Amino acid sequence: MEALPPWPKGKKLVHLDLKGAPPRIDYLHKLIGIFAGLGADGLLVEYEDMFPYEGELKVLQATQHSPYSREEVLSIQEVAKSHGLEVIPLVQTFGHLEFVLKHKSLWGLREVPHCLGTLNPHREEGVRLVQEMLRQVVELHPGSTSVHIGADEVYLLGEGEESRRWLSTPGRTLQQLFLLHVTRVAKAVRETWPNLNVIMWDDMLRGMDHDTLKGSGLVGLVQPMLWDYNPTLDVENTVSLLERYCGAGLSELWAASAFKGSTNVHTCVTNTQRHVDNHLQWLQVAASLPKGINMLGIALTGWQRYDHLSVLCELLPLALPSLASCLQTLLHGHLNPEAQRRVKDSLGISSVDVETMERSSAGNSELFPGRRLAELVVELMEILQSEELRHFEDSTFVRGWFTPYHRQRKIVNPLIAQQLQNQAMSFLALVEERVELVRKEILSLYPASTAQEWEEQHVSPVVVPLQRILEDTRASLLEMVAQNISESMDGQ
């Protein structure tokens, strides 16, 4: 493929999603240095419950593990600054407030009771809540020039009782309802911190026409960040959307791609090529833009969960080759052999794909912090996803001699039972040996809660059925032995 022009001027932000698997602070410091070395210009940090909220907001802090302290949040910024990186905090203020609205004391602030993510925009206490969240976060980021207020995927907006009443007035629309809250939040930020830029996700704006956007109150107030993580991103439609924003007066714009966390909600191992393809599409968008559109930069998102209550996506070490490849793609317009060599040299790896890296040699941990974990996870997942293990319950022995019918009645051919037990114990020993190594590495980089969650998410679904078969065969054999003893005694 012919090289595209490199990404135009502007920041290249690495997104840190801390609502799952928050790195230990010393590991996070190392990662920041790696990001800078790979070509990043800044960090977009989404703290969620890892921020040390104080006062009435202390309830928002994580309980399964300790949130970062105020000193640690400041240290993140200090380390970033030492590497020439800007830090932009992200605070959700409308949608994706699951980590806030899950708390019983705040249930009344939901738009509808069964949607944990969307704030009721009519409740003054809800508006004050997000404004106080912003105040605490911004004040602990004294060197930041921008803040991101989220505002994406505001599900079920308009379906609450108060919103229905508001919308019942002729001429009022759902779009206006969305804009009222966002402009109010953004104006409050600018009034308190006049020199602070306000960024927001763009998806709730996409359906708005020129006149609605122009009269939205957002012009000169916010910088939309247009996100699309698809490897087959529609270039023509994306350019058209950016032109529509610019034509309505929203001329300062950001893009958002993905280097991990967007393939599938439960993806464990990052596919580098998929994310490189996404960045190649974004380069085509940038190359097709007319003059007058001011692209301020691109955020390379690395989602750790789809939302606060979903499972973990790929852990960061599994995605460092992808991140390096995506940044090189933006810097050089392609990922040709020379760009791939730069990725390999920067991380000390043999392949840009984490699944095909050769096992590491000693001494390159500083180039690729967390590499050992990445290798072990790839190795373990190959075992867990093997046909023999995943379909053990569909094997001939189980389906022929140890069906639910047999288990319920505790009957089994002892010869078959021995065969099943030997296989199950062999698989369990193999898995447990690898799991112990993975667990040790996760604990060195993440809190214990992450190790437990990762194991229960990826290992337990495979291991538990094997353990159950082992227990059931033993119980059946014991029952048959007991029956034989009873029959023998009855015959005396």
Q: For residues 157 and 288, state if they share a domain.
A: yes
* Average predicted confidence (pLDDT) for the chain: 93
Residue 90 has pLDDT above 90, yes or no: yes
For residues 82-95, average pLDDT: 98
Quick: pLDDT tens for 440-478. 999 999 999 999 999 999 999 999 988 888 888 888 888
* Whole-number pLDDT of residue 1: 56
Q: For residues 351 and 391, state if they share a domain.
A: no
Question: Is 220 a domain residue?
Answer: yes
Query: Strand, coil or helix: what is 487?
Result: helix
| Region of residue 450 (phi > 0: left; psi between -120 and 50: alpha; otherwise: beta) | alpha
Q: For residues 439 and 348, state if they share a domain.
A: no
Q: For residues 390 and 307, state if they share a domain.
A: no
Question: Is 366 a domain residue?
Answer: no
Question: Is 406 a domain residue?
Answer: yes
Computed from CA positions of residues 274, 277, 278, 279, in that sequence, does the dihedral angle turn out positive or negative?
positive
* Whole-number pLDDT of residue 487: 53
Choose between 363 and 343: higher pLDDT. 343
Q: For residues 403 and 270, state if they share a domain.
A: no
- Of the residues 301, 334, 355, which one is the last residue of a structural domain? 355
For residues 340-368, average pLDDT: 82
Question: Is 51 a domain residue?
Answer: yes
Instruction: Determine the longest span between alpha carbons in the chain, in angstroms.
Output: 101
For residues 282-293, average pLDDT: 92
* Whole-number pLDDT of residue 486: 52
Q: Enter the pTM of the model.
A: 0.93
Cα–Cα distance, 247 to 28 (Å, whole number): 40
For residues 41-58, average pLDDT: 97
Cα–Cα distance, 401 to 411 (Å, whole number): 9
For residues 215-219, average pLDDT: 94
Of 215, 205, 276, residue with least CA distance to 242: 205
Q: What percent of the chain has pLDDT over 90?
A: 80
Q: For residues 338 and 443, state if they share a domain.
A: no
Q: For residues 301 and 390, state if they share a domain.
A: no
* Whole-number pLDDT of residue 479: 76
Q: For residues 331 and 409, state if they share a domain.
A: no
Of 469, 329, 451, 328, residue with least CA distance to 403: 469
Tally the domains of the chain.
2
Query: Strand, coil or helix: what is 146?
Result: strand
* Whole-number pLDDT of residue 364: 60
Q: Are 48 and 309 in contact (CB under 8 A)?
A: no
Choose between 279 and 479: higher pLDDT. 279
174 Cβ partners below 8 Å, 6+ apart?
157, 158, 167
CATH code of the domain containing 280: 3.20.20.80
Q: Are 177 and 217 in contact (CB under 8 A)?
A: no
Q: For residues 347 and 411, state if they share a domain.
A: no
Residue 489 has pLDDT above 80, yes or no: no
Helix axes 371-384, 414-445, angle to 10 degrees: 160
SS (H, E, C) 356-367: HCCCCCCCCCCC
Q: For residues 344 and 409, state if they share a domain.
A: no
Question: Is 374 a domain residue?
Answer: no
Cα–Cα distance, 427 to 422 (Å, whole number): 9
Give the range of the structural domain holding residue 437, as residue numbers without chain letter. Answer: 386-491
Question: Is 360 a domain residue?
Answer: no
Q: For residues 420 and 291, state if they share a domain.
A: no
Question: Is 367 a domain residue?
Answer: no
What is the per-residue burial (b if ≥16 Cβ within 10 Å, else e) of 176-194? ebbbbbbeebbebbeeebe
172 Cβ partners below 8 Å, 6+ apart?
166
For residues 90-106, average pLDDT: 97
Catalytic residues: 153
Q: Where are the alpha helices (DSSP H) in 8-50?
A: 25-38
For residues 328-337, average pLDDT: 93
Residue 363 has pLDDT above 60, yes or no: no
Residue 248 has pLDDT above 70, yes or no: yes
Q: How confident is the model at residue 8 (pLDDT cuts 50, 70, 90)?
A: confident
Q: For residues 221 and 114, state if they share a domain.
A: yes
Question: Is 372 a domain residue?
Answer: no
Q: How confident is the model at residue 66 (pLDDT cuts 50, 70, 90)?
A: very high
- Of the residues 311, 333, 355, which one is the last residue of a structural domain? 355
Q: How confident is the model at residue 392 (pLDDT cuts 50, 70, 90)?
A: confident
* Whole-number pLDDT of residue 490: 54
Residue 492 has pLDDT above 50, yes or no: no
Helix axes 371-384, 316-332, angle to 10 degrees: 110
